[in-house]
A and B are shown apart, each in its own frame.
Chain A
Amino acid sequence: MSIQRILTSLLGKKLFALSDDEKPRSVFVSADVWAAVLPPFPDTMEGLRRGEFRAWLENFEDGDEFSVSEDPDDKPSWTMLARVKPTEEDFWSMRITTPDTSPGMRAIGAFIGYNEFVVLDWHYREEMDFDNDVNEAIARWRDLFGECHPHTGETLNEHLSNFWPV
């Protein structure tokens, strides 16, 4: 079964479209991620961080400009989207680095097509065991998509539009 057909079978059950409207990019999230970005966002630091997370995902969905790093060993600390190791698995970290007063958040996922991203897990950065958390996200992908590999390409142009390589 193709990856797109698997996605269709998962929608509304294990994965959820962030928006029902047609957008320049598509974002699909797990139930955990959905719960984290569902408003209302409380009047707390946690609320602030989750509000920023929601905005990050909507900005991505709207086709906005994103800085992207392909090399996990050579990236600026402020990049917005970065490939993670093991690179052959083609997983990425969405890096929500604001507010500046917090360590930030990370959401791990993979491209399922051009301008289409599946967000599997999210974490407060200060609570992460990064490599282990990436491996868990990879395992979640395999539970959902079996042997289907994430969408990849030789260049960033094959992954998404409107990016700013850093």
Chain B
Amino acid sequence: MSTSVTSGPSNAIKISLGTFGYVRARNKQRIYNIIIREFKKSGLRNIDLAKRLGKAPEVVHRLLSRPQNWEADTISDLVFAICGGTLKFSVDRPTENAASVTSIEERRPDQADAFVRPTSPKSNSQTLKAA
């Protein structure tokens, strides 16, 4: 049976843990991008952000170290403390014509062009950004 990471769920078929792992990591990275980019733009130092958050600098250092499974409150606190903003949420949908890939046994690396990921956003998708 062919499956694709990016063709989206269908019917009542259980989505695999592996697929969820992929999607979770992509989303956590996007949130992390926002935090780090806003932090870089702000010109704040770690210690400044720590004071605004009421946390120790080493805690903030760890928070900013990598994409993590932040709670909504953590994301909210970070965005507001960094730039006084709030978030706008949107969804980036996979391309409707995303090709499927077969299992590893059937697919050679030189057939990689059959694996299609979302490229530029479609007209019905937007990008997560800080407002």
Chain A residues engaging chain B, CB cutoff 8 angstroms: 12, 16-21, 31, 34-35, 38-52, 54-56, 58-59, 64-65, 67, 76, 78-80, 97-100, 164, 166
Contacts and interface: CB of A to CB of B under 8 A. Distances in A.
Nearest to B103: A40
Contacts of A19: 117
Contacts of B70: none
Interface string B1-40: 0011100000000101111111111101110110011000
Given A16-B112, A50-B18, A166 B65 contact: yes
Interface string B73-107: 00000000000000000000000000001011001
A159 to B, nearest CB: 17
Contact of A39 (B4, B26, B110): B4
A43 B112 contact: no
A41 B16 contact: yes
Contacts of B55: none
Given A16-B110, A38-B101, A67-B65, A55 B18 contact: no
Given A41-B19, A67-B65, A164-B36, A58 B26 contact: yes
Given A16-B112, A51-B22, A55-B29, A43 B17 contact: yes
B5 A40 contact: yes
Contact of A41 (B5, B32, B69, B113): B5
Contact of A17 (B29, B112, B119): B112
Contacts of A50: 18, 21
B113 A44 contact: no
Find the residue from B3, B22, B23 having the highest chain A CB count within 10 A: B22
Contacts of A21: 117, 119
B27 to A, nearest CB: 9
Nearest to B110: A12
A51 B21 contact: yes
Interface residues of B, number: 40
A38 B11 CA distance: 23
A65 B19 contact: no
Contacts of B5: 39-41, 51, 54
Given A52-B25, A55-B29, A67-B65, A47 B17 contact: yes
A80 B29 CA distance: 11
B59 to A, nearest CB: 13
Given A16-B110, A164-B36, A67 B20 contact: no
**5 closest Cβ contacts across the A-B interface?**
A41-B18, A47-B18, A55-B25, A51-B21, A51-B22
Interface in B101-131: 101, 103-104, 107, 109-110, 112-113, 115, 117, 119
A34 B112 contact: yes
A51 B107 contact: no
